[in-house]
Chains A and B, each alone.
Chain A
Amino acid sequence: METAYPPLNELFVFLNTTITQISIFYSHIPGSGILLKYIKNSHQNDPFRTILELLLVFFAIIYLFTKKYRTDNLIELTPQEVEELVDEWQPEPLVPQLSDEENEFDKIPVINGPQGPRVKLVNGKPLLNISSFDFLGLLSHDSIKEKAIKTLREYGVGSCGPPGFYGTVDVHTEIERKISDFLGTEDTIIYSQGFSTINSAIPSFCKRGDIIVADEGCNFSIQKGLQISRSIIKWYKHNNMEDLERVLRKIKDEDIETGRRLTRRFIVSEGLFENYGDITPLPNLIELKKKFKYRLILDESLSFGTLGKRGAGLTDYFDIDPNQVDMIVGSMCYSIASSGGFCSGSFEITEHQRISGPAYCYSASLPAMLTVAATESLKLLKQNPLLLSTLKFNTLLFKQLLHNIKYLLLNGSADSPVIHLRIDEGIVRVGDIEDKEKCLQDIVDEAMNNGVLLTRAKYNRTQELFSIEPSIRICISASFNKKEIEKTASVIKSAATKVLKNRVH
């Protein structure tokens, strides 16, 4: 091609050679022929499709080359920032300074010798111990001691392993069988700590998304179990069956409204409330559980060995078939005067916990001597029905004597050996919780001067979910005689009068 402008001609030549060279270079790239063929083939005389496909390719390329980012709010620190933080860190003292509680520590009495209904302080002062959970007075029973010592010589001190890993010995299976027989349930599982029994039994069945309806008055151990289970927790007012029904009905309505899937549902309550000393109305609870199709977990830690004709707890007390309650959880630390806890129910209930109850799987099993001590206590309880009638008599006598007590309110059901004395705010002028606790502590101190060992009910208030009125917790024991009960009652009365009479409205 001839043109009038030689420079333009040169440009064409340059362009042509460049394009030729690029295409030659391109044909040398491995796979270039395939790509060319692919585009030609794919086009199929439909530009719309080709554009779509090109867009897809662009999208893929953009996606592949976008930088990664996180959506969780974790902050990644540079090594420099880590260094700075480490330098800034000031360790807290290993033994922190005591604040207001220091006074309280000074007031904790120190007992010389073993625990029991009649104790001696380090200064030699004899006291009537009405603050320990030893309801049947089995803690200082001779035959239990003998058996425990004999077992100690035979089996050694510890069990040296969780129940699933060489920690189970014959005495464990024996007590499991004995408790099942005593309660009338199918099977029982033994835990090595009373506190961790229910807070291990609950999460072994309940998971996130399950619904648990629980009493607001439940003790700390249950609260922790509910928290660990991660379930949805609904609370009903303490011992209020109308409120329980309202809560259950509301959940049912929500089910219909949201169409959510059916999950495991439980009602959790205490048999004899540790923080209130009252008895849960089990027949109503079972009726509601059946009506709304829930399972019932009943913490019988305090009611086991104290309530009922045989002392077999709440089912015995109300004369209800124990198999109506899905899980009966109890403690062997209180009436049974040993250690550990148990969960009783159907075979499936216990067997499931043997592989999924955290405290059963990961904690060393109950030492053989304590297990034997518990078996022996259970035997004594079965053999001596007098123990229970004495306990009942003492409880009634004590309540009768304190019936007309001024300044204090007697909390708890009539048959309950656990009694909470709370300040009667109708008569006495008191301030906040701290002030009330101070008043009660003064009563405790005054009673101790007169030969009765009392205790305030103590809580970790920062962790408790519901605020509990301060109280003095009294545990009646079967080992007191009539005179001692009378003395205790009169000491408490006069101590309350002495401390609170200046604060009357």
Chain B
Amino acid sequence: MARSRSRSFITTEKPTTYDEDQFALPNLNSNWVYYKGAWLVHIILIICVKILLSSVPGVSSETSWTLTNLSYMLGSFVMFHWVKGVPFDFNSGAYDGLTLWEQIDNGAQFTPAKKYLTALPIGLFLLSTHYTHYDAITFLVNFTFLAVVIIAKLPQLHKVRLFGINRLEVE
């Protein structure tokens, strides 16, 4: 049966017929969050972006912090909450309908990796507000992006798609 496109505001991804496939093999796509250096690389990337942006002449501290914030939030949103499935065929498509965030730890909540990846954007935002004098609009822009990333990480939004955006279209 094909489900028709969003009639309601909130929809939940239903379990598929072959959900048990998810336990047949380790998920190499999401297990990397526990690899050596996988946590550190976030910080290194953020620092690199910040240095790069600050070194451009004429860019104020506010702009460079805002852009650093935005690029991290956007990047992590796309990687963790938008792209679905596994790029290589490891699991016979068992994760086709799930984002990387939903795949991490097989959907378990409040695991160390999830805690780290939630705390990181908050820390980044707090740092940026500390070192700058945002005007109201820049502050709001930064805060909105942070809020979007944080809300997407909430356990209440596990497997939930808003407005039918980014749903699994088949089955």
**0/1 string, A227-271, CB within 8 A of B gives 1:** 000101000000000000000000000100111110100000000
Q: A49 in the interface, Cβ–Cβ < 8 Å?
A: yes
A498 shortest CB reach to chain B, Å: 49
A258 touches B18 (CB 8 A): no
A209 touches B108 (CB 8 A): no
Q: B71 in the interface, Cβ–Cβ < 8 Å?
A: no
B65 shortest CB reach to chain A, Å: 13
Q: A208 in the interface, Cβ–Cβ < 8 Å?
A: yes
Q: A59 in the interface, Cβ–Cβ < 8 Å?
A: yes
A258 shortest CB reach to chain B, Å: 5
A70 touches B89 (CB 8 A): no
Q: A68 in the interface, Cβ–Cβ < 8 Å?
A: yes
Contacts A57-B126, A230-B21; is A260 near B170 (CB within 8 Å)? yes
CB nearest to A261 among chain B residues: B169
In the bound complex, what is the Cα–Cα distance between A79 and B34 (angstroms)? 27
Contacts A56-B126, A208-B18; is A258 near B119 (CB within 8 Å)? no
In the bound complex, what is the Cα–Cα distance between A209 and B143 (angstroms)? 38
Contacts of B17 in A (CB 8 A): 230
In the bound complex, what is the Cα–Cα distance between A69 and B155 (angstroms)? 10
In the bound complex, what is the Cα–Cα distance between A127 and B139 (angstroms)? 93
Interface centre among A64, A208, A260 (most CB of B within 10 A): A208
A10 shortest CB reach to chain B, Å: 42
CB nearest to A56 among chain B residues: B122
Stretch at the interface among B43-51, B56-64, B74-82, B90-98: B90-98
Size range of the chain A interface in the assembly? 20 to 34
B2 touches A49 (CB 8 A): no
In the bound complex, what is the Cα–Cα distance between A64 and B122 (angstroms)? 12
B126 touches A66 (CB 8 A): no
A43-67 at interface with B (beta carbon < 8 Å) = 44, 49, 52-53, 56-57, 59-60, 63-64, 66-67
Q: B107 in the interface, Cβ–Cβ < 8 Å?
A: yes
In the bound complex, what is the Cα–Cα distance between A230 and B97 (angstroms)? 14
A258 touches B5 (CB 8 A): yes
Contact of B170 among A42, A53, A74, A263 (CB under 8 A): A263
**0/1 string, A202-219, CB within 8 A of B gives 1:** 000001110000000000
Contact of B93 among A230, A257, A261 (CB under 8 A): A230
Interface centre among A63, A230, A263 (most CB of B within 10 A): A63
Q: A78 in the interface, Cβ–Cβ < 8 Å?
A: no
B167 shortest CB reach to chain A, Å: 10
In the bound complex, what is the Cα–Cα distance between A63 and B114 (angstroms)? 9
Contact of A66 among B93, B107, B110, B146 (CB under 8 A): B110
Contacts of B22 in A (CB 8 A): 72
Contacts of B146 in A (CB 8 A): 56
Q: B8 in the interface, Cβ–Cβ < 8 Å?
A: no
Contact of B96 among A57, A208, A254, A257 (CB under 8 A): A208
Contacts A208-B94, A259-B5; is A63 near B171 (CB within 8 Å)? no
Contacts of B93 in A (CB 8 A): 207-209, 230
In the bound complex, what is the Cα–Cα distance between A44 and B130 (angstroms)? 9
CB nearest to B130 among chain A residues: A42
B129 touches A53 (CB 8 A): yes
B77 shortest CB reach to chain A, Å: 17
A60 touches B122 (CB 8 A): yes
Q: B158 in the interface, Cβ–Cβ < 8 Å?
A: yes
A257 touches B4 (CB 8 A): yes
Contact of A69 among B109, B133, B169 (CB under 8 A): B109
B107 touches A49 (CB 8 A): no
Contacts A209-B96, A258-B169, A260-B170; is A68 near B111 (CB within 8 Å)? yes
Contacts of A383 in B (CB 8 A): none
Q: A99 in the interface, Cβ–Cβ < 8 Å?
A: no
B150 shortest CB reach to chain A, Å: 8
Residues of chain A touching chain B, judged by Cβ–Cβ distance below 8 Å, are 38, 41-42, 44, 49, 52-53, 56-57, 59-60, 63-64, 66-72, 74, 207-209, 230, 232, 254, 257-261, 263
Q: Given A57-B122, A208-B92, A258-B4, 19 more contacts at CB 8 Å?
A: A42-B129, A42-B130, A44-B133, A52-B143, A59-B122, A60-B119, A66-B110, A71-B108, A71-B109, A72-B22, A74-B23, A208-B94, A209-B96, A232-B170, A254-B2, A258-B2, A259-B169, A260-B169, A261-B169
Would you mind naming 26 contact pairs between A and B with Cβ atoms under 8 Å apart? A41-B130, A49-B129, A49-B139, A53-B126, A56-B122, A56-B125, A56-B146, A57-B126, A60-B123, A64-B115, A64-B119, A68-B110, A68-B111, A71-B109, A71-B155, A71-B158, A72-B22, A74-B23, A207-B93, A209-B170, A230-B17, A230-B18, A230-B21, A257-B4, A257-B5, A258-B4
Residues of chain B touching chain A, judged by Cβ–Cβ distance below 8 Å, are 2-5, 16-18, 21-23, 89, 92-94, 96, 106-111, 115, 118-119, 122-123, 125-126, 129-130, 133, 139, 143, 146, 150, 155, 158, 169-171
